Structure formats: C-alpha cells, structure tokens
Amino acid sequence: DTEVTQTPKHLVMGMTNKKSLKCEQHMGHRAMYWYKQKAKKPPELMFVYSYEKLSINESVPSRFSPECPNSSLLNLHLHALQPEDSALYLCASSQDLSGNYNEQFFGPGTRLTVL
C-alpha cells in the first residue's frame, strides 16, 4: 500500500465550529506532515511529526492543533477558524527524517471552506 488517505474530501465549517481532519498511511513511514495550500501557491509546511512526536511547528496559530495518536494516523483539530484559513490541507508522509533525503508521499487533500 503506497497511499496516503485523507478524510473528509471537503469540509465546510463556521467560525465557531470544531472539526477534525484525518490522515492515514500504511507504508510504515515514521514522519508525517501537514501542509496548507492556497490557490496558485505551493504547499506551506505547518507541522512535522517524527516517531509520533511533534518535530516542527511553523508558528501555526493555536486554532490548529495537530495530533499523532500512532505511527499510521495524523489528525488536525480545527477550532475557531477564520475565513482566511480556507484552503486545501495536504497530509504527507516520508520514511523518516534521517539524512537529507526527504521523499514525501502526499494525500489527495481536504478542501476546507470557513464561512
């Protein structure tokens, strides 16, 4: 299985809602990532998990809360988002963070709209 899956595919939420995005991989990868991608822009790194521990937080607002319950799962909890947070949220995984080689496998993304 060489796939990264993400659910839901689309999500519409109000600014007072709490929702979660889910990402799953069964490739035995030990590094997992969340990216935010606005239209016509490259993905922007948000968080990196290595061996289920948070390795990088790119100064992301606290209304985004990541969680890695096990080596195959990555969640992104959303609360009190703003309309400007509307974007495509991409999950990715890679074997690990050793060395400088970092081939990442991306999921299809969750299209988030904040009303």
Partner 1 sequence: AQSVTQLGSHVSVSEGALVLLRCNYSSSVPPYLFWYVQYPNQGLQLLLKYTSAATLVKGINGFEAEFKKSETSFHLTKPSAHMSDAAEYFCAVSGLQGAQKLVFGQGTRLTINP
Interface positions with partner 1 (CB under 8 A): 4, 6, 31, 40-43, 45, 48, 50, 55-56, 88, 90, 92, 97-109, 111
Nearer to partner 1, 30 or 79 (CB): 30
Distance of closest approach, residue 82 Cβ to partner 1, in angstroms: 22
Distance of closest approach, residue 63 Cβ to partner 1, in angstroms: 23
Cβ burial of 65 (10 Å; 0-12, 13-18, 19+) is middle
**Backbone phi and psi for residue 56, each to the nearest 5 degrees, phi listed first:** -140, 135
Distance of closest approach, residue 68 Cβ to partner 1, in angstroms: 15
Q: What is the Cα–Cα distance from 14 to 79, expressed in whole angstroms?
A: 9
Nearer to partner 1, 6 or 86 (CB): 6
Q: Are 24 and 5 in contact (CB under 8 A)?
A: yes
